[in-house]
Amino acid sequence: MITPIQEIDNFFFKRDDYYTICNSNGGKSRSAYYLVSKSTKEGITSAGSRSSPQLKILSNICQELKKPFVAHTTTGELDENLKCLFNNSYTTVIQHKYGYNSVIIKRAKDCAKENNYEYIPFGMETEEAVNQTSKQVENLKDYNIKRIIVPLGSGMSFCGIAKGLLDFNLKIPIIGVQVGANPTKRLEKYFPDYNNYEIIESTEKYSTKIKNNIFCGVELNPNYEAKCIPFLKESDLLWIVGR
């Protein structure tokens, strides 16, 4: 399924959030479902922040596929959208005292090894995630798009868009709005040979939720896409990874 593009008031919106599976939406859900469904191991484990959409997506998918899921995150109160993890009988949440990504990632990897579980990488960092997103670039050729604006969290959607532009021979600049930790190492590993791009740091912290998160009547994720609003110009396409 190629997700649609909306044109509103001289702005374009790639509605990858319209992809829905297992009560989850967006490009990360597409990649997560592929990775979980092909696993032959006893269960699934992953790591993420206390506001990570990835943990909720994996929890929903594992519930649907009846696979146990262990979510590793940091101590403290979970984001309102993640509190449902505690009510999912297939999900176990383990919160670790030290809040560095490297720590919770190691704990998740150790959990996978000890329990014969599939480790789903932090930020969905896999070649397959890049490939899944790249296919969604196909219908951009039907519109006169000036630039692509995309929130830059783990950077995997950003890499996938760049691969798709190469695959479909489209020469559209990509602007990545960095809303989380510096993804340079990930980009060096997965970003294809596409030179027409720029990375801009958001003026807001990752933990900040944008209150005015509606643009052209479209409700945007307050942690991610809404932080792209200040950088949008007419004829730009905002790539909505999820909601």
pLDDT in tens, 74-130: 999 988 888 889 989 999 999 998 778 899 999 999 999 999 999 999 888 999 999
pLDDT in tens, 189-243: 999 999 999 999 999 998 899 999 999 999 999 999 999 999 999 999 999 998 8
Task: Find out whether 85 and 91 touch, Cβ atoms under 8 Å.
Answer: yes
Same domain, 13 and 28: no
Same domain, 47 and 142: no
CA distance 17 to 238: 12
- What beta strand segments (E) does 62-196 contain? 69-74, 91-96, 117-120, 147-152, 174-178
Helix (H, G, I), strand (E, B) or coil at 145: coil
Task: Find out whether 120 and 35 touch, Cβ atoms under 8 Å.
Answer: yes
Task: Find out whether 241 and 14 touch, Cβ atoms under 8 Å.
Answer: no
Average pLDDT, the chain: 94
pLDDT greater than 80 at residue 146: yes
pLDDT greater than 80 at residue 33: yes
Same domain, 144 and 208: yes
- Torsion, Cα 225 228 233 236, to 10 degrees, reads -40
Share of the chain above pLDDT 90, in %: 81
**Tally of domains in the chain:** 2
Share of the chain above pLDDT 70, in %: 100
Instruction: Give the residue numbers spanning the domain of 57.
Output: 24-124
pLDDT greater than 90 at residue 181: no
